[in-house]
Amino acid sequence: MFSEENAKKGVTFPKGFRAAGVKAGIKKSGNLDVALIVSDTPAAAAGVFTQNAVAAAPVCVSKEAVKNGVAQAIVANAGCANACTGELGLKNARQMADTAAQALSLRAEDIIVASTGIIGVQLPMDKMTAGIQKAAEELSADGSENAGKAIITTDTCSKACAYETSIGGVPVRFGAIAKGSGMISPNMATMLTFITTDAAIDAALLQEALSDITEVSFNMISIDGDMSTNDMATVFANGAAGNPVIKEKGEDYDAFYAALLEICQGLSKRIAEDGEGATKLLTIHVTGAQDFYDAKTVGMSVAKSPLVKTAFFGEDPNWGRVICAVGYAGVPMEPDKVKVAFGGIPVFANGMGVTMNEEALRDVMQAHDVVIDIDMASGDAEATVWTCDFSYEYVKINGEYHT
């Protein structure tokens, strides 16, 4: 179960992890901008990364680092994405790992690197090097909160969580920090998510679990339909809890999977909720589809529609925009059979609008959390997508982002 009391402990909630977040001068704001997360012992490691063909240098380096299934530290920065920076950018990403390895007396190949911020700008390596060294000196079991603050960009807050469960009769902990607020679209996003656990699990099973869960969590959110160059989610499992190592699927694996699923879906909703300028969290639940991918396609079509998103910002129950987005999703449908409801109140059925309780619907539209139910009436598959509204503030934030 989630531990609200320990949520701020984030990645240091599980045994055997330390973290730090420091100011290195990479962000123009002068806020915390370099984070370091370290496991006291080598950990089983897994990662998922952006599917954008223009992948940033740290993504390329980190993909190599997780290939052997073992890692021990993460170094991340905000303020500069180190994307579209050529051979020098790749060299700088590797230097991040080298510097962290030297500061921590670890192997560079066991270091994950991550960056977020403006594309096309080279990392200021003098500041980065000093920041990594400073972070290594400040590592502590209370450092997760600062680490979380050091990876955010346009986020209004860092996302952190703590989770406790039992695996093999042994208490096991999970923790996480994440950032993500804009350039969020399926197949990952401008999102960095770092998850730690003191559970013991085989690295191949860990990777399988993360990859599967990503499909129903991080790949089910959209803020603006733009796919980033830098996103990644990683999991470190260091085994410090002392549970029997999970080597095959079964009861222990199921318990681990359930915990990781809760964390990833919970963080996904937090990221969607904190979309740039967002005032509402929109949950789009598509049922009655022929398969999961049809359901996801319909949900994403609605989630990425600027007209739908602005209607909900204006608290206008304009169901026409929703059914329009369903219709152009490219999924076979019979309009006369499709049903749409807002907050449980039917608004579309039998090919036309439904007479509704306007007062009750007004209450739905004024709420922070709004559920859009879409029944395709063509099968048994379903999918849930999370997004947010578009406000005036979204345009302002992105119009001024580079300056």
The pLDDT of residue 118 is 85
1-32 CB burial, b ≥16 within 10 A, e <16: eeeeebbbbbbbbbbbbbbbbbbbebbeeeeb
For residues 291 and 153, the model is more confident at: 291
Percent of the chain with pLDDT over 70: 92
Average pLDDT of span 383-396: 83
For residues 389 and 91, the model is more confident at: 91
The pLDDT of residue 392 is 74
**CATH fit for domain 7-273, picks 3.60.70.12, 2.40.50.140, 3.40.1280.10, 3.40.718.10:** 3.60.70.12
* CA atoms of 401 and 403, how far apart (whole Å): 6
Q: How confident is the model at residue 400 (pLDDT cuts 50, 70, 90)?
A: low
In the numeric block, which tokens belong to residue 379? 């099968």
pLDDT at 1 over 80: no
| Least confident interval from 12-16, 176-180, 198-202, 232-236 | 176-180
Mean pLDDT of the chain: 91
Q: How confident is the model at residue 5 (pLDDT cuts 50, 70, 90)?
A: confident
Burial degree of 55 (CB within 10 A; 0-12, 13-18, 19+): buried
Please state, as a whole number, how many other Cβ atoms lie within 10 Å of the Cβ of residue 51.
Answer: 12
For residues 158 and 170, the model is more confident at: 170
Chain segment 292-314, per-residue pLDDT in tens:
999 999 999 999 999 999 999 99
Burial degree of 91 (CB within 10 A; 0-12, 13-18, 19+): middle
Average pLDDT of span 208-232: 82
Q: How confident is the model at residue 403 (pLDDT cuts 50, 70, 90)?
A: very low
Q: How confident is the model at residue 18 (pLDDT cuts 50, 70, 90)?
A: very high
The pLDDT of residue 398 is 57
The full set of domain ranges for the chain reads 7-273, 281-399
Please state, as a whole number, how many other Cβ atoms lie within 10 Å of the Cβ of residue 243.
Answer: 21
pLDDT at 119 over 80: yes
In the numeric block, which tokens belong to residue 402? 């580079």
Put simply, whether the predicted model's pTM sits higher than 0.85 gets the answer: yes
pLDDT at 373 over 80: yes
**CATH fit for domain 281-399, picks 3.10.20.340, 3.30.70.2860, 3.10.180.10, 3.40.710.10:** 3.10.20.340
**Catalytic-role residue among 50, 99, 153, 190:** 190
Task: Identify whether 190 is a catalytic site residue.
Answer: yes
